[in-house]
Amino acid sequence: MIDVKNLSKSFGDHLVLDGISQHIHPGEKVVVIGPSGSGKSTFLRCLNLLETPSAGTITFQGTVITDPKVKIDQVRQHMGMVFQHFNLFPNMTIRKNITLAPVRTGLMKQEEADELAGTLLQRVDLTDKADAYPSQLSGGQKQRVAIVRALAMKPQLMLFDEPTSALDPEMVGEVLDVMKELARDGMTMVVVTHEMGFAREVGSRVLFMADGKVLEEGPPAELFGNPQHPRLRDFLSKVL
């Protein structure tokens, strides 16, 4: 689904991503872990060109999206993104937050979008919040709405950028439960997270990043159970 070749990204003189190459296959759940400042979020944001790579190519379903001629907004309609800080529109109801993009892009009519919003809110146990505003919701509820808003576009891929790191500890579980259900339903996912339990349980493959490179990758059982790289062993000794 995604082919990344020799991806590099610099901010001024600071090299944040250093020649990363990855293939992400349909249905895979790729979980990216690593210390702060390792380039995890920048890597994720390059996948839908929220950050423009300094070098390398990214191909999404056969389209080279790093080609300047590509209409990236059309490509992004197939890639859902969930941010650390929800990014809901505060002046819109929850229903309007969910239906805005599918209606604006012509994906569906308002009536159809409203119906889908209702179905999705039921799925995350927030049916009663459709007419509420974001300020009336808890952090965990906002993040569940943010996931639903991304799903309303019927994406083929979901990108999660540390979706639980801004939440109080007791709210983390409710968001992870929604993500686990998505994974079980076969959604292709790339998740940057500090939740090692989630990486172990849900990831089909885990990437360990440090210093702008993927230093080790593999199935969770292998990566957590028998880490090879000294940086990974050191990292796991601090977080597990």
Model confidence, pTM: 0.94
- Give the residue among 158, 207, 151 at the shortest CA–CA distance from 30: 207
**What amino acid is encoded at 13 in this protein?**
D
Whole-angstrom Cα distance, residue 43 to residue 37? 11
Whole-angstrom Cα distance, residue 90 to residue 135? 7
**pLDDT at residue 119, as a whole number:** 95
Strands 55-60 and 2-11: antiparallel
Q: Which residues pair with 36 in a beta bridge?
A: none
Whole-angstrom Cα distance, residue 95 to residue 133? 9
**pLDDT at residue 67, as a whole number:** 94
Q: For 26, what's the count of Cα atoms within 13 Å in the CB-facing half-sphere?
A: 5
CB atoms within 10 A of CB 159: 23
**pLDDT at residue 240, as a whole number:** 86
Cβ-based neighbours of 199, under 8 Å, separated by 6 or more: 31, 33, 191, 193, 206, 220, 224
> Mean pLDDT per 10-residue run, the chain (240 residues)?
96 95 96 95 95 96 94 92 92 97 94 96 95 96 95 95 91 93 94 94 96 96 96 94
Whole-angstrom Cα distance, residue 131 to residue 51? 34
**pLDDT at residue 88, as a whole number:** 95
**pLDDT at residue 166, as a whole number:** 87
From residue 86, give the alpha-carbon distance in Å to each of 121, 128, 134.
Answer: 16, 19, 10
Geometric angle at alpha carbon 234, from 233 and 237, rounded to 5°: 85
Q: pLDDT tens digit string along 133-190?
A: 999 999 999 999 999 999 999 999 999 999 999 898 889 999 999 999 999 999 999 9
